[in-house]
Structure 1
Amino acid sequence: MFGAIVSGRLVQTDFQQIEETKLLLNIPDADNLNHLVIFLTGTTPLPLGTAGAVYWSWPDPNSPSKWQYLGYISNQKPSAIFKISQLKKLHEMETHDSMMMFGQSAISHNAQIGISIEPEATVVQQTPSTTNDASSYYQFGQRMLENFVNFASSFTITQSQMVPNPSETYVPLSTLTTWFNNFQRRLEQNPNFWK
């Protein structure tokens, strides 16, 4: 019923039916993908009054899947092209539990496409995920700030522990904390202030 073309690859039609109205397709080595085409193969039309809501996910073995709505296809709109190169792996920014040594998190190189057959009136009203979402900028900025402050704080020493070194420059931790608080306040007021 459905087919997928991932840029630079052969057509895939091997969707697995996981529920009566839900299908899943695994996409290996998805790190550098830019565009995705989903289409009806024409062998079987969708039931009248329904549409196929298309979702994208970076599966994580340590947490439930976080699906990003891309758009839809229907009998009246049998194919759609989706730009996926800018979709962020939001669950990697939100999850601190999956952090490993040296701050590297577990990264999935595989993706999944989900299609949910739903009433067309419901699907048409949904808003596709975008990378310009203010909350995702805020979450990224917040995590970046926390990571930087934690990293810099791990090197703190007291003044009595300092070994005089004329070529070394020191920044007081209070200065870093002030910068962190100011940046965080500005980020809360306007997530796009730094652009």
Structure 2
Amino acid sequence: MFGCVVAGRLLQTNLQQVDETHAYFELSGASTINHISVFLLGTVPFPEGYGASVHFYWPGKGFQLLGMLSNEKPSAIFRLRGNFTSSATNTANPNAFTPAPAENSTSDVVAILGLAIEPLDQIQVQVSGLPTAIVKSTIAQDVTRDATLMAERVVKHLFNYLSSFVGSVPGGFAPDVVVPVGMIAKWYDSFLSKVKTGGIGFLERDES
């Protein structure tokens, strides 16, 4: 009924049933997990008025409610790294899922992704308490940081390109130099060609 994909890994369908309303996936190498996607396989829908709450269990830290699935929302992506919080407000019963194996030095941590089939109204109450604003804020900050870094690299690339034609004077570049529009257009065409050919890796190498 369910499937999950840890970013960078193969699809998991090895769902382990605990009882009629609880099941789980074992997630090996949990310390390297960043994002995980959970979804319905489309073979068996939820009964009318039911869905599944999704929980993440980290050995020694307890359960954390991640979100939910329903017939109207058959898939979801969750960010795990840097976003684990105390399970004090989680309504999941830890005994509903089989405990994960203990941590050891050879296999890393094995965590659990638990799914509990419950009435939708009960799930909505649980999900309404999630700190979604904090999560969205964190994601927005990451996007802004990446966009700022990219903008800085593009501007630096343009500056290096133009300065190779303008030349310099002792102590720095010549002030108030007029740059022909055609020169910027030439840079633009060359820049797009490099991006289409090999991506943006050249920006990290400070190529002009």
Task: Name the amino acid aligned to 1:45.
Answer: P
- Name 2:144's counterpart in structure 1: none
The 4+ residue runs of structure 1 with deviation greater than 2 A are 87-91, 127-130
Aligned partners of 1:90, 1:124: CA distance in 2, in Å?
A: 20
2:15 is equivalent to residue 5 of structure 1:
no
Aligned partners of 1:26, 1:6: CA distance in 2, in Å?
A: 11
Aligned partners of 1:89, 1:28: CA distance in 2, in Å?
A: 20
Give the C-alpha shift of residue 24 in structure 1.
1.0
Aligned partners of 2:131, 2:117: CA distance in 1, in Å?
A: 18
When normalised by structure 1's length, the TM-score is 0.53
Task: Name the amino acid aligned to 1:88.
Answer: F
2:84 is equivalent to residue 88 of structure 1:
yes
Aligned partners of 2:32, 2:86: CA distance in 1, in Å?
A: 16
Counterparts in 2 of 1:42-191, with a 5 A limit? 42-60=42-60, 66-88=62-84, 90=86, 109-126=109-126, 127-128=129-130
The total of aligned residue pairs comes to 115
Aligned partners of 2:83, 2:5: CA distance in 1, in Å?
A: 17
The C-alpha deviation readout for 1:13-47, integer Å capped at 9, x for no partner, is: 11111121000110000102111110000010011
Residue pair 1:69, 1:129 contacting (<8 A) in 2 also: no
Aligned partners of 1:129, 1:117: CA distance in 2, in Å?
A: 22
C-alpha change, 1:128 and 1:41, in structure 2 (3 Å) is same
Q: Equivalent residue of 2:43, what SS?
A: coil
CA RMSD in angstroms comes to 2.5
Residue pair 1:53, 1:123 contacting (<8 A) in 2 also: yes
Q: Equivalent residue of 1:114, what SS?
A: strand
Q: Equivalent residue of 1:44, what SS?
A: coil
Aligned partners of 1:71, 1:128: CA distance in 2, in Å?
A: 8
The C-alpha deviation readout for 1:72-120, integer Å capped at 9, x for no partner, is: 00000000011111133758xxxxxxxxxxxxxx776111000000000
2:56 is equivalent to residue 26 of structure 1:
no
The C-alpha deviation readout for 1:149-186, integer Å capped at 9, x for no partner, is: xxxxxxxxxxxxxxxxxxxxxxxxxxxxxxxxxxxxxx
Task: Name the amino acid aligned to 1:8.
Answer: G
Q: Equivalent residue of 2:112, what SS?
A: strand
Aligned partners of 1:23, 1:88: CA distance in 2, in Å?
A: 21
Determine which structure has the larger helix proportion and give its number. 2
Structure 2: which 5+ residue stretches go unaligned? 88-102, 136-208
After TM superposition, the structure 1 stretch with the greater mean CA deviation from structure 2, 13-22 or 111-120, is: 13-22
Structure 1: which 5+ residue stretches go unaligned? 92-105, 134-195
Give the C-alpha shift of residue 71 in structure 1.
0.3
Mark the structure with the bigger radius of gyration. Answer: 2
- Name 2:39's counterpart in structure 1: 39
